[in-house]
Structure 1
Amino acid sequence: MPKPYLAPLSCAALLCLASLTAHAAGERYHVALDGTFAPHAMPTMSGGIEGFNVDLINAIGERLGAEIDITAAQFSGLIPGLQAGTYDFLAAPTTITPELSENLLFTEGYLDTDYQFVVKKGAAAITRLEDLEGRTIAVNKGSSYDAWAREHAGEYGWRVESYGSNSDAVQAVTSNRAFANLAGNTVAAYAVKRNPMVELSLLVPTGRVWAFPFRKGDEELRARIERVVECLKIDGTIAELAQKWFDAEPEPGSAAVTAQPGYGQPGYAGFVEDDHPFSCDVQA
């Protein structure tokens, strides 16, 4: 069973960060992510990159006292680059699936990844999928949300229209070309945060999480990074980043605030049972 959310660490507990930093001082990691997946990673006006995952990976580097080199690349090339040794691990939001876990090592999840609908502000309430019968659903072309909406179109009686970006799909809602946009819960929250004409609607839980992937055989590095992820859960850092980028506080028991026992995500290949304590001391 997942352990309950712990309150932010006391000042005394935060002193453990000193030993964590000393352990990894001088280390350097090369990571990669998709630089166009807002609000997790996106270009800045100055030519840099920002977003939830950028902040998260930089926080990991800070806690380790390690240098983090971030490369923005197309998502389709990230896993091949990891397997080829170009990257030490991936900082992109990557959904753990049974298939991927057979070929990659994953940390425990740091965010839940669910489906969520966005509707025009003031639209009729949607409390179940059947309420969308006869409606048009706008999705990002080629995304997993596009595939899921089309797979279930016959079951729930909705129509699906695909757009070149999720921003275009949201625009279809505001211009009344579609009733709802379907996207990931964090992307949906960010769209609502930026556009006062839309609001969040029905959430469809998937039971899946986003985690950091590593090459098979890099169990030691995976464990080192996972211990920092656990630290950032129990001291409230990930919750603060969720509030900053998604304008939403994580639910108690969610992946953002719940440290998992062992290394990896329970229920998937690569998970290692272990009773290490949850701490901001990487050597604990």
Structure 2
Amino acid sequence: MTFARLLASAAVATALVAGPAVAKDWETVRIGTEGAYPPFNTLTSDGQLEGFDIDIAKALCEKMEVTCEFVTQDWEGIIPALEAGKYDAIIASMSITEERKQRVDFTEKYYNTPPALVVPKGSDITEATADALSGKTIGAQASTTHAEYAEKLFPDADVKLYPTAEEYKLDLENGRLDGAVDDVIVIDEWVKADGTCCEILDTLPMDAAIYGEGIGIAIRQDDDDLREMFNKAIAAIREDGTYKTINDKYFEFDVYGD
């Protein structure tokens, strides 16, 4: 028998002894988030992550009895980095959509809030309609459901896309945009903190074809056990009041939705 055939035989024997692959041992779960989407996830001046997404993630990891490790990632690369194994889950206010389901799996939702249109104070835009926004320049964060929705809802507007929410806010403050579309909570937090620039013109009707089933946790498609661990933990923190405590820290109403 040649040396090569001996190696091949040894490999087969080892595989037979080892048997089928077993589920992963989830003692540590690495969580990807953006860190640029307050009040859901943001970086403090000293580089610490905070926000609703972060507190929810920590509560879920405690219920699952695993150690959490957070990894910040630019939004446009957040799914590719999950697929590449940079982290194990995305907790970053990501909508559960059919398009994303082609690449990743999702847990059940952990919140669901509507989009809104924000405009400068004193704007001549008085209603959030396609006619009113025709010819206007509207900002949104690139690669988000809000960007897709703005392009669909306002087809005759010039929708300008930005890498982060902070960048469209800066252009709106400086008069380079007529409005912007984002989550109502994100906009409300910003306009209250700023106080001078802008105001919410109106919330926008949810389009299920774009926004899907709410905000969920993205998991690689072969990590079914981790998805189910998260689902059980979401149900548990809803049941025992932990979710409400975190919710009430940030918001005046239940963001879980119907």
Using structure 2 for the length normalisation, give the TM-score.
0.71
SS in 2 for 1:112: coil
Q: Is the 8 A contact 1:113 1:206 kept in 2?
A: no
Q: 2:79 maps to which residue?
A: 79
Q: 2:190 maps to which residue?
A: 191
Question: For residues 118 and 242 of structure 1, do their structure 2 counterparts lie closer, same or farther at Cα, with a shift above 3 Å needed?
Answer: farther
- Letter of the aligned partner of 1:249 in structure 2? F
Q: CA deviation at 1:133?
A: 4.1
- Letter of the aligned partner of 1:32 in structure 2? G
Q: 1:279 maps to which residue?
A: none
1:224 aligned to which of 223, 229, 235: 229
1:206 aligns to 2:207 (yes or no): yes
Alpha-carbon displacement from aligned partner over 1:99-154 (angstroms, at most 9, x marks no partner): 32233221011122532111345767855515624573431463544454345444
- Letter of the aligned partner of 1:65 in structure 2? E
Mapped partners of 1:250, 1:127: distance in 2: 27
Alpha-carbon displacement from aligned partner over 1:164-193 (angstroms, at most 9, x marks no partner): 753453455555554432222232122123
Mapped partners of 1:213, 1:54: distance in 2: 15
Q: CA deviation at 1:71?
A: 0.8
Q: Is the 8 A contact 1:236 1:257 kept in 2?
A: no
SS in 1 for 2:253: coil
Using structure 1 for the length normalisation, give the TM-score.
0.66
Mapped partners of 1:74, 1:225: distance in 2: 23
Q: Is the 8 A contact 2:135 2:157 kept in 1?
A: yes
**Overall identity of the aligned pairs, in %:** 22
SS in 1 for 2:92: coil
Question: For residues 70 and 152 of structure 1, do their structure 2 counterparts lie closer, same or farther at Cα, with a shift above 3 Å needed?
Answer: same
| 30-39 vs 192-201, which moves further | 192-201
Question: For residues 139 and 225 of structure 1, do their structure 2 counterparts lie closer, same or farther at Cα, with a shift above 3 Å needed?
Answer: same
1:40 aligns to 2:40 (yes or no): yes
| 200-209 vs 125-134, which moves further | 125-134
Question: For residues 126 and 93 of structure 1, do their structure 2 counterparts lie closer, same or farther at Cα, with a shift above 3 Å needed?
Answer: same
Q: 2:220 maps to which residue?
A: 215
Q: Is the 8 A contact 1:41 1:52 kept in 2?
A: yes
SS in 1 for 2:36: coil
RMSD: 3.1
| 37-46 vs 175-184, which moves further | 175-184
Mapped partners of 1:243, 1:169: distance in 2: 28
The structure 1 segments of at least 4 consecutive aligned residues displaced by more than 6 Å after TM superposition are none
SS in 1 for 2:102: helix
Mapped partners of 2:88, 2:33: distance in 1: 12
Paired residue total:
226
1:249 aligns to 2:253 (yes or no): yes
